[in-house]
Amino acid sequence: MKKIELEIVALSHTLAQTQNYAIVLGEQGGSRRLPIVIGGFEAQAIAVAMEGMAPSRPMTHDLFKNVVETFRIDLKEIVINNLVDGIFYANLVFIQGGKEVEVDSRTSDALALAVRFGCPIYSYEFILDQAGIILEEDTEKEVQKAKTRRQQPKEKGIEDYSTEELETMLETVLEEEDYEKAARIRDELNRRKEEGEKN
């Protein structure tokens, strides 16, 4: 069965279930999208890795990655290989000593690991046929814009702090594992850095 490569194009709140998030995978070179509903903790684990944040202590997926690398095992790819009653199933495909080994995984965990390892994400045609959607041209443009910029609103008043204060605050919120606030602080620091380079 031919595998179809996907990439993460969006991570957002679901409208129907406020406690959940939707991670949207896009078909490389195509217009189909595969939305998958995940929980808040899983969304945070994916967002932290996507934003390149380094928590003071390793999160569960970081710990798993460290263990795998310590024992010289490579995560080759993840494959979303089934869809039953609205639930997606996935496999982690490892390479150890030249041998390929598949391990069953929750899809959200597999995606969190794929981001950390930088490995490809695959699925199959029948899954995209069942659960995929085709975006209209205008919606597709919005998705592409979302991939190149963060759309998270900045915390009110954050721009009033000095750069030194923000750097200190960033260390504090990372220790407290408040990754949403850390992302906003980092965005403000990056914005200031970019403005400084232009001037």
- Gap between the Cα atoms of 163 and 101, Å rounded: 48
pLDDT in tens, the chain (199 residues): 899 999 999 888 765 555 788 999 999 988 899 999 998 888 989 998 988 887 888 889 999 999 999 999 999 999 999 999 999 999 999 999 999 999 999 999 999 999 999 999 999 999 999 999 987 654 555 555 555 554 444 444 677 788 888 888 888 878 777 777 888 888 888 888 888 776 6
Buried b (16+ CB within 10 A) or exposed e, 50-59: eeebeeeeeb
Structural domains of the chain, with CATH: 3-148 (3.10.690.10), 158-198 (no CATH)
Q: What separation in angstroms does the CA of 7 have from each of 26, 72, 110, 171, 195?
A: 5, 26, 13, 31, 31
Phi and psi at residue 29, to the nearest 5°: 75, 10
Helix (H) or strand (E) holding 9, with range, is: strand 3-13
Q: In the prediction, which pLDDT does 150 show?
A: 45
Residue 9: name the closest of 144, 162, 175 by CA. 144
Number of CB atoms found within 10 A of residue 25's CB: 24
Q: How buried is residue 20: exposed, middle or buried, by Cβ count under 10 Å (0-12/13-18/19+)? A: middle
DSSP class of residue 146 equals H
- Gap between the Cα atoms of 116 and 92, Å rounded: 13
